[in-house]
Amino acid sequence: MWIAEKRQYIIGIFTFLGIASFAALPFLKFSFDFERFFPYGDPDLEYYKEFIEEFESDDNYLLIALKNEPNVLEKDFLESVKKLTEEVTTIESVISAISLPTIQRPQIDLFGITFSPIFTLDNSSLTTIYDSLSQKQSMLRGLVASDKKSLIVALKIEEHLQIDGSLALMERITSLVQDSHFNDYHFLGRAYFQKELARLQVEEVLYSSLFSFLVVSLILFLLYRNKYLIFITLLSITLGLLLFMGLLSLLGRELDAMSALYPVLMLIVGSSDVIHILSKYLDELRTGKAIEPALDITIRQIGLATLFTSATTAIGFISLVTSRIGPVRDFGMNAAIGVLVAYITIILFTTALFTYFSPEKLKAHSSTFILWDNVAMWFYKLSKNHLAISVFSILLLFGCGIGISKISTDYRIESSLPKGKKVTEDFLFFEKNYSGYRPLEYVLSRKDKKSILDHNGIVDINKLSNYISAHPDINQVTSVSTIMETITEFFPKIMWNNEQSFNEFSPPILQAALNTSPVILVNEMQDKTRISTQIKDIGAYKIKAFTEEIRKWSNTNIDTSKYSLNYTGTGLIIDKNAVYVRESLLKGLGFALFVIGILMGFLFKSFKMVIISLIPNSIPLIIAGAILGFSGIPLEPLTSITFVVIFGIAVDDTIHFLSKYRLALHSGFSIEESIKVSFKESGKAILFTTVVLFFGFMVMLFSYNPASVIVGGLISVTLFTAVFADLILLPLLLRFWFKN
Mean pLDDT of 546-575: 85
Return the pLDDT at 230. Answer: 83
pLDDT in tens, 242-273: 999 888 888 887 776 666 677 777 777 787 78
Chain-centroid distance of CA 586 in Å reads 18
**Residue 632 to residues 412, 579, 628, Cα–Cα distance (Å):** 12, 16, 6
**Positive/negative CA dihedral, 184, 190, 194, 197:** positive
pLDDT higher than threshold 90 for residue 20: yes
295-331 pLDDT, tens per residue? 888 888 887 778 877 887 787 788 777 777 777 788 8
Distance, CA of 523 to CA of 51 (rounded, Å)? 9
The pLDDT of 112-119, averaged and rounded, is: 71
Q: Which range (37-51, 174-188, 578-592) has the least confidence? A: 578-592
- pLDDT value of position 18: 92
The answer to whether residue 552 scores a pLDDT higher than 60 is yes
- The better pLDDT of the pair 209, 192 is held by 192
Residue 423 and residue 131: Cα distance in Å, rounded? Answer: 31
Q: Please write the tens of the pLDDT for every residue from 640-691.
A: 777 777 777 777 788 878 888 888 888 888 888 888 888 887 887 788 888 8
% pLDDT > 90, the chain: 8
What would the mean pLDDT of 345-370 be, rounded to a whole number?
78
The predicted pLDDT at position 366 comes to 56
3-state SS class at 678: helix
Point out which residues pair with 567 in neighbouring strands: 442
Residue 81 has pLDDT above 80, yes or no: yes
Of the pLDDT bands very low, low, confident and very high (cuts 50, 70, 90), residue 13 is very high
Taking residues 351-362, report their average pLDDT: 84
User: Is residue 110 over pLDDT 60?
Assistant: no
pLDDT (0 to 100) of residue 248:
87
Q: Check residue 108 and give its pLDDT.
A: 63
- The b/e string for 205-225 (b: 16+ C-beta within 10 A; e otherwise) is bebbbebbbebbeebbeebbe
Q: In the predicted model, what is the mean pLDDT of residues 448-454?
A: 84
Cα(343)–Cα(338) distance, rounded to whole angstroms?
9
Angle at 539 between CA 537 and CA 543, to 5 degrees: 95
pLDDT, residue 85, reads 92
pLDDT band at 155 (very low <50, low <70, confident <90, very high): very high
Q: Is residue 188 predicted with pLDDT exceeding 70?
A: yes
Report residue 185's pLDDT band, with 50, 70 and 90 as the boundaries.
Answer: very high
Give the long-range contacts of residues 16-22, CB within 8 A, separation 24 or more. Answer: 17/243, 17/246, 18/239, 18/242, 18/243, 20/246, 21/242, 21/243, 21/245, 21/246, 21/247, 21/249, 22/242, 22/246
Res 213: pLDDT: 76
Query: Tens of pLDDT along 428-438?
Result: 898 888 877 78
Beta strands in 110-215 (DSSP E): 112-117, 150-157, 185-189
Reference 712, options 586, 624, 653; nearest CA is 624
> What is each CA distance from 578 to 114, 203, 323, 324, 328, in whole angstroms?
49, 27, 11, 11, 12
In the chain, the domains with their CATH numbers are 2-29+225-405+574-737 (1.20.1640.10), 60-195 (3.30.70), 424-573 (no CATH)
CB 531 within 8 A of CB 445: no
pLDDT band at residue 725 using 50, 70 and 90 as cut-offs: confident
pLDDT surpasses 80 at 139: no
- Whether the per-residue pLDDT at 378 is higher than 80: the answer is yes
Q: What is the pLDDT of residues 30-57, one digit of tens each?
A: 666 666 666 677 788 788 888 888 888 8
pLDDT given at position 459: 82
Q: Is the pLDDT of residue 64 over 90?
A: yes
The answer for residues whose C-beta is within 8 angstroms of residue 424's C-beta and 6 or more apart is 414, 417, 418
Spatial distance between the Cα atoms of 307 and 522, rounded to a whole number of angstroms: 60
State the average pLDDT for the chain: 81
